[in-house]
Amino acid sequence: MTTPKEFNTPKADIADDTAAPAVVDAPHPVILGPVMRKKELIDTVVERSGVKKRDAKPVVEAMLSVLGEALSDSRELNLLPFGKLKVINEKELKNGKMIRVKVRQLTPGQGDGPAQDADGDLTDV
């Protein structure tokens, strides 16, 4: 009886080092809070500023109008401490325009010095 020949097949190189686990920074789910309407915004501005409602209401409405026009023109807004707003894309609809905006806010404690964006460039305050 004959014995079968053994074939020398190269074995795959197996690394001695095992991959170390890495922490992946994934987006966190956002739980939406209640919607803030213009009336609540005006009331809050009156409460915090101490001005009369009849004086604050036209200012808040004018500010909202200016912000809406700027976003409609695809302008980037840098409004600290609110944040930096950048238009991502827009879509024409039957009854208006849908604009997707990315908002970047500073974490507390970073507002002490000049603000920097993601590229490290200084931004206007």
**Domain residue spans of the chain:** 34-72, 75-107
Q: Which residue has 């604009």 as its token pair? A: 99
Q: How far apart are the C-alpha atoms of 7 and 27, rounded to whole Å?
A: 52
pLDDT digits (tens, 9 = 90+) for 43-91: 999 999 999 999 999 999 999 999 999 999 999 999 998 999 999 999 9
pLDDT given for residue 121 in this prediction: 47
Please, what is the Cα angle at 108 between 116 and 50, to 5 degrees? 110
Q: How far apart are the C-alpha atoms of 45 and 60, rounded to whole Å?
A: 8
State the alpha helices, DSSP H only, in the chain: 38-49, 53-72
pLDDT given for residue 70 in this prediction: 95
Q: Which residue has 């009156």 as its token pair? A: 46
Q: In this model, does residue 7 exceed pLDDT 70?
A: no
For residue 28, what pLDDT band results from cuts at 50, 70 and 90? confident
Return the structure tokens found at 96.
């208006």
